[in-house]
Amino acid sequence: MKFAIVIMAAGKGTRLKSKRAKVLHEIGGKALLRHVIDAAAQIVEPKDIFVVVGHQAGQVKSAVEATGVRFVEQAEQRGTGHAIQCAQSAVAGYDNLLVLSGDVPLLKTETIAQVRDFHLEQQAAMTILTAEPADPTGYGRVLRKSAGSAEVEAIVEQKSLTPEQARVREINTGIYAFAAEPLFARISALETNNAHGEYYLTDMAKLLSADGARVVAVKTGNAVETLGANTIAEMMQLDAAMRMETAQRLMASGVTIFRPETVTIDSQVKVGADTVIEPFVQLLGDTVIGEDCRIRSYSVLENATLADKVLVRQGCVILEARVESGALLGPYSHLRPGSEIGQEAHVGNFVETKKVKLGKGSKANHLSYLGDAEIGSGVNIGAGVITCNYDGVNKHRTLIGDRVFVGSDSTLVAPLVIGNGAYVAAGSAITEDVPEDALALGRARQVTKPDWATTRKPKKD
């Protein structure tokens, strides 16, 4: 049985009071829609996922087109039923549809699979995923034909509930499975006789039941994962829930996280066992951290890769950089994109790197800027050293060999090559290549004038 997944992502989300389309707002480090696509892509191939776009269609497509999904345009947003009408030709040839909401980011792959499997088992025309949240207010209720029955009698919206129906806590989550043939045989019969003048997909339950088709419901055991958000505050509650779940998953795999409520860890971050994450750390994007590392407080890692046994001291910023095993960073180091820090290398206090390869065991411990450089193993970079990589028009590279000593407060004007074992005297401005094992000095000779200060002092009366 061939399934397509249709994801509703055309709405404005006006209650957010935001200029951005609702599905582009982020929790857990990814857009709401991206979370749903990632879960769906574990059920079917990306080419079998159809995202219905409308409001800010161009921006929504750009945000997720790299996933390989396909798009259906709903130029005029006239409800969920209308969205499926727009998708009808795109999904022709599929036996069944799973319909998901692009603003329900906590939905698990296992729950989507539960709906699919129950739908097939029951040989249903329509399957509704239901839940029992702590407070069902505002949600449509699912009325079953009898207690314990899988079959659904009706879906009743909140404002139409009788006092008896209002006691029902089982809600419609807006997630469905449909057999394609009975769905599309009746979808043109949807009407707009409601307060918003829209075509509601929920009305398919009534249409299908009236014709004797089987409409069933399956309840999720975790109501939280089916919740959406209509305000920024509600969205941040989902973000907090997702991040705490990520922290719990990492701790269950052997990661120590002190004060997990204070850390910010994106959902796709990976961390090895026996690594310690201290309070107020941020691990963002596709960051990967090995085993036996320690990330100290107030450090921010984004799209960073750390091997095993790396120590990141307080307040470091590591962006799109790679750090090899046993390296030591910080405090307050700044590794910018393209930085590659070698095994057992040290990058210390207020050192900034950009597009730099720092070799095994090399050290830059204090107040330096290293940009567009390749630095060998066993190199010592003194305090205040700068690679002058930009001439106002172009960037140039500095190449430093193995076992080089660069004295404090030196400026290395690229393009420049410093050979293995060379020394650069402190305070030098180096503008020419330095051969292996040479000593380079690039400073004026010191002039000392005895008693000069005495002659400058005012005479006493």
Q: Is 101 annotated among the ligand-binding residues?
A: yes
Q: Is 22 labelled as part of a ligand binding site? A: yes
Please indicate if the annotation marks 303 as binding a ligand.
no
In the residue annotation, 366 being an active-site residue is answered as yes
Say whether 140 counts as a known binding-site residue. yes
Paired residues of 72 in beta bridges: 52
Answer yes or no: is 461 a known binding residue: no
Secondary structure string (H, E, C) spanning the chain: CCEEEEEEECCCCHHHCCCCCHHHCEECCEEHHHHHHHHHCCCCCHHHEEEEEECEHHHHHHHHHHHCCEEEECCCCCCHHHHHHHHCCCCCCCCEEEEEECCCCCCCHHHHHHHHHHHHHHCCCEEEEEECCCCCCCCCEEEECCCCCCEEEEEECHHHCCCCHHHCCCEEEEEEEEEHHHHHHHHHHCCCCCCCCCCCCCHHHHHHHHCCCCEEEEECCCHHHHCCCCCHHHHHHHHHHHHHHHHHHHHHCCCEECCHHHCEECCCCEECCCCEECCCCEEECCCEECCCCEECCCCEEECCEECCCCEECCCCEEECCEECCCCEECCCCEECCCCEECCCCEEEECCEEEEEEECCCCEEEECCEEEEEEECCCCEECCCCEEECECCCCECCEEECCCCEECCCCEEECCEEECCCCEECCCCEECCCECCCCEECCCCCCCCCCCHHHHHCCCCC
172 is in an annotated binding site: yes
Catalytic residue among 35, 82, 119, 366: 366
- For residue 449, say whether it is annotated as part of any ligand binding site: no
Q: Can you read off the two tokens belonging to residue 248?
A: 């719990």
- Annotated ligand binding at 443? The verdict is yes
Q: 102 labelled as ligand-binding?
A: yes
- The annotation status of 336 as a binding-site residue, yes or no, is yes
Whether residue 148 is annotated as binding a ligand: the answer is: no
Q: Do the annotations mark residue 79 as ligand-binding?
A: yes
- Within 10 angstroms of residue 187's Cβ, the number of other Cβ atoms is 19
* CA gap 451, 438 in Å, rounded: 36
369 belongs to an annotated ligand binding site? yes
Q: Which two tokens stand for residue 16?
A: 């957010």
C-alpha to C-alpha distance for 343 and 357, rounded to whole angstroms: 11
Tell me whether residue 426 is annotated as binding.
yes
d(C-alpha 80, C-alpha 202), whole Å: 8
CA dihedral 37, 42, 48, 49 (to 10 degrees): -10
The response to whether 290 counts as a known ligand-binding position is no
* Catalytically active residues, by annotation: 366
List binding-site positions. 22, 74, 79-80, 101-103, 140, 157, 172, 230, 336, 354, 369, 380, 383, 389-390, 408, 426, 443
Which residues are known binding-site members for Mg(2+)?
A: 103, 230
Q: Which residues are documented as binding site for UDP-N-acetyl-alpha-D-glucosamine? A: 22, 74, 79-80, 101-103, 140, 157, 172, 230, 336, 354, 369, 380
Write out the binding residues for acetyl-CoA.
383, 389-390, 408, 426, 443
